[in-house]
Amino acid sequence: MRYLKFGTSLTRRCQEQRRFLDLGSRSRFHSGIFPSGTKAFINGAWVESHSGASFAVTNPATGATLASVPNCDVKDAEAAVVSARKAFQTWGFDTTAKERAALLQKWFNILMKRQDELAEILTAEQGKPLAEAKGEIAYGAGFFDWFAGEARRTYGQIVPAPVANRQHFHYREPSGVVAMITPWNFPTAMITRKTGAALAAGCTVVVKPAEDTPLSALALASTAKEAGIPDGVFNVVTAARQNTAAVGKLWCESPDVDVISFTGSTAVGKILLHQSADRVKRVCLELGGNAPLIVFPSADLDKAVAGTMASKFRGSGQTCVCVNRIFVHSSVYDAYLDKLKSAIVKDLKVGDGSQAGVTQGPLINELAVKKVSGLVEDARKKGAKVIVGGAKHSAGPSFYEPTLLADIKPQMDIANTEIFGPVAAVVKFDSEEQVIKLANNTRMGLAGYFFSQDVAQIFRVARRLEVGMVGVNEGVMSSAEAAFGGVKESGLGREGASQGMDEFTEWKYVCLGGL
């Protein structure tokens, strides 16, 4: 079996037509990132699953096998929790905020130093273009930089007591062991956004990355060790789909896991919330979205189109905050469609994400293509007009054409389903009241976007949209400094910003009497 070699420059790798290495029956990347091969990371050691089982990681663009990783089960997941619980006694109470901040800052510096190599791994297993992968590494590393500062800004309170001989103190303490289950669409950043806050607070971490993209998580483990993160503080348990549900259930029900933090589908989030209920443990959920984007008559159409392109087509439309429903006022509908069509045709190039100039990589697998194809076909049958695209792409079975659909109606499946693909579905509206009702007509409430130059309207609509985050005249708004999260069935809690620390700390009240 042959395996991709990482660590060379993109140009040279393309010129040499993807040099491969024969590494025998057990894969090992020829990279300093994986000195011991692609194994699970528990208590500071690289380990196989206790059963010896493994599963293959493939490149969605080519179908090539990249590596095999341990298929861990509940026994391995429990070992990771034991390791994290033991490490918490020291990390949570015997280290200072300043010491934790210094290690997070060192980890940030290592990620940025190894940005190119980490991005190549990310592109190979996830498929997104290399430029986007580099952006994700920088974005993800930024959470370590941010939370290194927040570690030293986690303040308590001194509260005036109601009697003269007492003093009341409020302390913030680390919650304990945090179990994280993370998605494939941002395989680095969704781990760092959670881990940065958790480690800054003094918590320890066990991570179960998505089956499709475990290599980026293992690369983070390698850089954690390089940064000097103590053994047991950061653990990665890789598992295939058949073991994932059992691992998640174990962590939800374990008395030694204090917090569950999950990014993924609403359906799975509800299962984890239910499984955690008997332990009454904190559950942080960042779930599905059905984001509206509204173009009002006063909008700068060029900015609106640029914002649509950025929000809709990055990651080939596979992000939870991608615009899903585009509402355009009837007075600018035709002009907007013409501009968006031109931008799609001119600016988007489909192909293997490792190739120069590619802006649209594959979807994560063929099942994703099947879902998108079904949504487009349903819309077409019910009267939608295909302006651009509308079919599978010739680049391979995991590719779909960037698509623009007009005349979308409420009864179409695509108007009520998170697309998670490169399809822009456009709806015409006539009034602000009408479009607010349409935009809020969903149980999802993660992100929303609108374009307007009317100041009064900006404040009015921003408040009336039932979402956790609003982009006004912006198509991309996430950053380490901003609180990320949704309302309704799009999640619980916030990640990033100072609020991100709240998910991993507990308030303790101490009453000092007899003064």
Q: Are residues 339 and 468 in the same domain?
A: yes
Tell me which amino acid residue 264 is: G
Q: Are residues 451 and 393 in the same domain?
A: yes
Please, is 90 exposed, middle or buried when counting C-beta atoms within 10 Å of its C-beta (0-12, 13-18, 19+)?
middle
β-pairing, 40-42 vs 45-47, is antiparallel
Q: Are residues 224 and 349 in the same domain?
A: no
Residue 10 has pLDDT above 90, yes or no: no
Q: Is 198 part of a structural domain of the chain? A: yes
What pTM, to 2 d.p., does this model score?
Answer: 0.93
Q: Is 261 part of a structural domain of the chain? A: yes
More confident residue, 37 or 228: 228
Residue 16 has pLDDT above 70, yes or no: no
Q: Are residues 263 and 333 in the same domain?
A: no
Please, is 157 exposed, middle or buried when counting C-beta atoms within 10 Å of its C-beta (0-12, 13-18, 19+)?
exposed
State residue 31's pLDDT score: 62
Q: Is 231 part of a structural domain of the chain? A: yes
Q: Are residues 88 and 223 in the same domain?
A: yes
pLDDT tier, 21 (very low <50, low <70, confident <90, very high otherwise): very low
Question: What digits encode the pLDDT tens for the residues 114-136?
Answer: 999 999 999 999 999 999 999 99
Domain stop point among 241, 256, 287: 287
**Average per-residue pLDDT for the chain:** 94
The end-to-end CA distance of the chain, in Å, is 74
Buried b (16+ CB within 10 A) or exposed e, 474-511: ebebbebeeebbbebbbbbbbbbbbbbbbbbbeeeeee
State residue 23's pLDDT score: 29
**What is the CATH number for 102?**
3.40.605.10
For residues 90 and 231, what is the distance between their CA atoms, to the nearest angstrom? 11
CB-based contact 80:42 (threshold 8 Å): yes
Q: Is 486 part of a structural domain of the chain? A: no
- Residues ≥6 apart with Cβ < 8 Å to 263: 181, 182, 183, 190, 194, 285, 286, 287, 320
Q: Report, as an integer, the average pLDDT of 447-471.
A: 99
Q: Are residues 262 and 399 in the same domain?
A: no
The secondary structure element, H or E, covering residue 10 is helix 10-15
For residues 475 and 469, what is the distance between their CA atoms, to the nearest angstrom? 12
Q: Are residues 90 and 195 in the same domain?
A: yes
Residue 479 has pLDDT above 70, yes or no: yes
State residue 35's pLDDT score: 83
CB-based contact 109:103 (threshold 8 Å): no
Q: Are residues 312 and 181 in the same domain?
A: no
Number of domains in the chain: 2
- Mind giving me the DSSP string for 94-159? TS-HHHHHHHHHHHHHHHHHTHHHHHHHHHHHH---HHHHHHHHHHHHHHHHHHHHHGGG---EEE
State residue 505's pLDDT score: 98
State residue 125's pLDDT score: 98
Q: Is 60 part of a structural domain of the chain? A: no
Q: Per this entry, what is the length of the chain?
A: 515
Q: What sign results for the dihedral spanned by CA atoms 322, 293, 273, 483?
A: positive
CB-based contact 172:507 (threshold 8 Å): yes
Domain stop point among 240, 259, 287: 287
pLDDT tier, 32 (very low <50, low <70, confident <90, very high otherwise): confident
Q: Are residues 282 and 295 in the same domain?
A: no
Residue 8 has pLDDT above 70, yes or no: no
Question: What digits encode the pLDDT tens for the residues 250-262?
Answer: 999 999 999 999 9
Q: Is 130 part of a structural domain of the chain? A: yes
Beta strands in 385-472 (DSSP E): 385-388, 403-406, 423-429, 447-451, 469-472
Check residue 296 and report its DSSP letter.
-
| Token pair recorded at residue 5 | 């070699």
**What is the CATH number for 358?**
3.40.309.10
Q: Are residues 203 and 283 in the same domain?
A: yes
For residues 72 and 42, what is the distance between their CA atoms, to the nearest angstrom? 11
The boundaries of the domain holding residue 429 are 291-480
Question: What digits encode the pLDDT tens for the residues 96-110?
Answer: 999 999 999 999 999
Q: What sign results for the dihedral spanned by CA atoms 296, 301, 304, 305?
A: positive
pLDDT tier, 9 (very low <50, low <70, confident <90, very high otherwise): very low
Helices and strands, counts by H and E, the chain: 14, 22
Domain stop point among 287, 309, 335: 287
Q: Are residues 147 and 221 in the same domain?
A: yes
Which position among 286, 432, 489, 495 bears the catalytic label? 286
Residue 1 has pLDDT above 70, yes or no: no
Active site residue 286: yes
Q: Report, as an integer, the average pLDDT of 173-194.
A: 99
Q: Is 16 part of a structural domain of the chain? A: no
Q: Are residues 271 and 303 in the same domain?
A: no
Q: Is 415 part of a structural domain of the chain? A: yes
β-pairing, 204-208 vs 385-388, is unpaired
Q: Report, as an integer, the average pLDDT of 340-361.
A: 98
